[in-house]
Structure 1
Amino acid sequence: MSEVLFLAHRIPFPPDRGDKIRSCHVLRHIAGLAPVHVACFADDEGDMAHEPDLAAIAASHCLTPRTRSLPLAGVDALVRGKPVSLTAFADRRLAAYVARVLDERPIGAIYVLSGQMAQYVPARFAGRVVMDFVDVDSAKFEAYAAAARFPASLLYAREARLLSRFEDAVARRAHASLLVTPEEAALFRQRLAPGAEPAVISLGNGIDTDFFDPEGMSPAPETVGAGPQLTFTGQMDYPPNVAAVEMFARAVMPQVRAVFPQARFNVVGRAPTLAVRSLDGVNGTRVTGAVLDVRPWLAGADLVVAPLTIARGVQNKVLEAMAMARPVLATPEAATGIPAREEHELVVADGAEALAKAALSLLHDKVRAATIGHSARAIVVERCGWAGVLAPLAGLLGLPRHPEAPRVAA
């Protein structure tokens, strides 16, 4: 039986952030099709502690701590004329593991999650390569460049330019390139150089609707008996999330609290930056940091907000809130790729004034808000289950759809 090599820029466990959620479900799905060998990085000791989870599902694995600092990776990238995104994830131990697995195992396909891991696919590999870009990283860096000041703007523009060339070359090498939404797939196609067009396919994110189920879930105690609760969830050292909560806390919450003086804005997520931590107490903002379970915070929210102005792909935070039957207020960027109708399963507004107006409307009309929340869960349950979303993977990897997946010794 053909086996699969799975490359990811982070260990898929625990699935507690967007990229890990996708990689965890993809890995589990592939492991149900064939033996899978996994090469990935750990960001910290917390990641390393989940190595037993990886060992339990992989036929063999290499989990390598990512120790190279960003400044050193940047210097290396400048010297070698490469994107920092690649040099930051260059590791000899991981490369040696990949070479050994390809030499010793009958690898028929390589699944690559995130563009920076494509550097580990050797030119000599003759099997299928499925490249899961998820979203268009080069376009994200272009947006960073447009928003940043000099000299950061120059560095971001350089990264965008070099990554765009790399993405083009990788896409032409791959059997198929995956993007998380049709919009991202269309954008990716537009950015390819003229010539033979590679296969670019949209493969969305799913949601575990059994786990994200409001039934029987009690609200976080901090949200009970207070004023209206507006909640944002996400990784709080991710620049688009940081920018989103700063804008909402400083520009939207004053307008909300002018009508609802006790309203609170809960910023829920791990690794808050200094800029995020400084928002605690500003205009009713509460910064929680990491929480053991995000569901009680969602259950206690009168309104979940996703005011991102830079966003690529499907926002898992939006799907999770919808699955929890919460009314969600999102910017157009955050709503991209979400299978929802505006004003039926999702409310969309652009800019601080419009966000404040929409938030106040939902907080005033609790019946409307509850109806939107219930409709949101219904459509997520119907259309966003992981099994259905990932069904095309077997064909893309050249594997039978429902074989028993025997394990091999690690």
Structure 2
Amino acid sequence: MHLLYVTESVPNKDPVHGDGSSAIPYEVLRNLPPDVRVDLVTFAGVAVPDDVLRRCASVQCLPERGRRAALAGSALTPLSVGGAARTTVRARRAVRAASRRADVTLLHGPHVIGLVHEVSGPAVFQTVDPWSHQVTMQAAASSGPLARYRRFQAARALELERRLPEHMALLTVGRGDAEAWSRELGRPVTAVPLGTDSGGSPWAPPAGPPTVCFVGSLDYGPNVESVGALVREIAPRIWDAAPETRFVLAGRRPVQAVADLAGDRVEVRANVPDVSDVFRSAHVAVFPDRSGLGMRNAVTEAVAVGIPVVASAVAAREQPAHPLLRVAQDDEDLVRLALSALTSTDAAVTTTGTPRTWADVAEDHLRACEEASRRAV
């Protein structure tokens, strides 16, 4: 198969410049069979990793439109600011030409939705979660004129999504998102849950003071809200029973509001190279999320490492039942479950089943591309 992969940002897992969205195409590329030829069209921002360059037959790393022009484009069209930045004349030409040479085109990310109509032949559009859902979530967290503006933007985004070509297969991460988006668009949407890296030593209770960890991008609104709740609302109740407990907040690009949470018993670790090391240095991972979309990959990664996990129902969304994962009904329940994990003297729980890996994710993407190609014959 000859695949054109169009990604909204350079596929990478850089601890500073990467994010959940850039990690998906990076892992898909790493795990595609070697007989799949890949041409990559992406957008400048970080250097293309060497292993991505080696894997791809060709790489076009295109410039984005400037911020001011992108803002103007977003105001005049249903595109997001990121979408307006990427929907340039040069990008349109690149996708149009490269798709003619490919058997199928896989587009990743809501910010390349402005390029879908340039694709010739079979195509698949994948997004972590629909942009209309993201903006709706932002509107719910806002008030006044900003909330009204975001509801307007969400409606425009949904209308744009409804104009996706009929022949194009649609993928998203969460099953709930896939079902809701399918109803909204009146067409099938397939859920392709995320995976984890396999291997590594199993978790065991570490030496030292009891430690609670939280992992996630620390510049992402729902995560900023979550760590704020963890430190200001959950931690004091845990300290009442276990005052020596430490809290570790780890993730990329912590905003000032997160950095300000650091203190004698709260550590903020920025841009950690390997989050599994954070999980292995803690006694329990706690996720008191109030909002969010899709599948919470940090919860998946924590369970895969083998650490006990306590999560709100929002944080545990899309997660299969697992003996390591305890879902709290409210904050009181979350505190109780976290304290139970911190004071337990049991060894690590034996995990059940085989964790979903990135190889599984790549296989699902490839299957969707093959099916799109067959339908076009």
Judge same fold: TM > 0.5, yes or no.
Answer: yes
The CA distance in 1 between the partners of 2:328 and 2:14, in whole Å, is 29
Which residue type is aligned with residue 334 of structure 1?
A
What is the CA distance between 1:242 and its match in structure 2? 0.7
The CA distance in 2 between the partners of 1:267 and 1:14, in whole Å, is 19
The CA distance in 2 between the partners of 1:261 and 1:245, in whole Å, is 19
Tell me the residue number matched to 2:106.
Answer: 111
What is the CA distance between 1:224 and its match in structure 2? 5.4
Preserved CA contact (<8 Å) 1:33 1:399: no
Tell me the residue number matched to 2:8.
Answer: 9
Distance 1:331 1:88, change over 3 A: farther
Question: Any stretches of 5+ residues in structure 2 without a counterpart?
Answer: none
Distance 1:306 1:89, change over 3 A: farther
Q: Secondary structure at the match of 2:293?
A: coil
Matches within 5 A, 1:250-265: 250-265=232-247
What is the CA distance between 1:135 and its match in structure 2? 1.7
Tell me the residue number matched to 2:56.
Answer: 58
What is the CA distance between 1:124 and its match in structure 2? 6.3
Q: Secondary structure at the match of 1:366?
A: coil
Matched, 1:318 2:304: no
Deviations 1:258-313 (A, max 9, x none): 1111111111112110111111117x221111123322221111011222222222
Matched, 1:362 2:366: no
Q: Secondary structure at the match of 1:398?
A: helix
Which residue type is aligned with residue 265 of structure 1?
F
Tell me the residue number matched to 2:88.
Answer: 91
Preserved CA contact (<8 Å) 1:13 1:53: no
Matched, 1:386 2:367: no
Tell me the residue number matched to 2:72.
Answer: 75
Which residue type is aligned with residue 263 of structure 1?
T
Distance 1:97 1:315, change over 3 A: same
What is the CA distance between 1:86 and its match in structure 2? 2.0
Report % sequence identity. Answer: 26
Deviations 1:161-191 (A, max 9, x none): 1111122222x53431112132221111222
Deviations 1:190-243 (A, max 9, x none): 222xxxx43311211111112xx234x899xxx853x21111112111111111
The CA distance in 2 between the partners of 1:168 and 1:319, in whole Å, is 31
The CA distance in 2 between the partners of 1:65 and 1:178, in whole Å, is 26
Tell me the residue number matched to 2:255.
Answer: 273
What is the CA distance between 1:65 and its match in structure 2? 4.8
Distance 1:142 1:390, change over 3 A: same
Matches within 5 A, 1:270-349: 270-281=252-263, 284-341=265-322, 344-349=323-328
The CA distance in 2 between the partners of 1:272 and 1:137, in whole Å, is 23
Distance 1:325 1:80, change over 3 A: closer
Tell me the residue number matched to 1:404.
Answer: none
Preserved CA contact (<8 Å) 2:247 2:267: yes
Preserved CA contact (<8 Å) 1:306 1:330: yes
Q: Secondary structure at the match of 1:173?
A: coil
Matches within 5 A, 1:97-246: 97-103=94-100, 105=101, 107-123=102-118, 125=120, 127-170=121-164, 172-192=165-185, 197-210=186-199, 213-215=200-202, 225=208, 227-246=209-228
Deviations 1:36-82 (A, max 9, x none): 11111243xxx21x34333211111112354633x653333213454
Q: Secondary structure at the match of 1:111?
A: strand
The CA distance in 2 between the partners of 1:146 and 1:399, in whole Å, is 37
The CA distance in 1 between the partners of 2:6 and 2:106, in whole Å, is 6
The CA distance in 2 between the partners of 1:156 and 1:146, in whole Å, is 9
The CA distance in 2 between the partners of 1:392 and 1:318, in whole Å, is 21
The CA distance in 1 between the partners of 2:170 and 2:372, in whole Å, is 20
Question: Any stretches of 5+ residues in structure 1 without a counterpart?
Answer: 402-410
Preserved CA contact (<8 Å) 1:83 1:162: no
Q: Secondary structure at the match of 2:104?
A: strand
Number of matched pairs:
370
Q: Secondary structure at the match of 2:39?
A: strand
Distance 1:224 1:72, change over 3 A: farther
Which deviates more, 74-83 or 152-161?
74-83
Preserved CA contact (<8 Å) 1:39 1:62: yes
Preserved CA contact (<8 Å) 1:131 1:178: yes
Tell me the residue number matched to 1:405.
Answer: none
Which residue type is aligned with residue 57 of structure 2?
A
Distance 1:191 1:96, change over 3 A: same
Which residue type is aligned with residue 201 of structure 2?
P
The CA distance in 2 between the partners of 1:304 and 1:174, in whole Å, is 42
Tell me the residue number matched to 1:18.
Answer: 20
Which residue type is aligned with residue 147 of structure 1?
A
Q: Secondary structure at the match of 1:148?
A: coil
Distance 1:88 1:154, change over 3 A: farther
The CA distance in 2 between the partners of 1:123 and 1:99, in whole Å, is 5
Q: Secondary structure at the match of 2:301?
A: helix
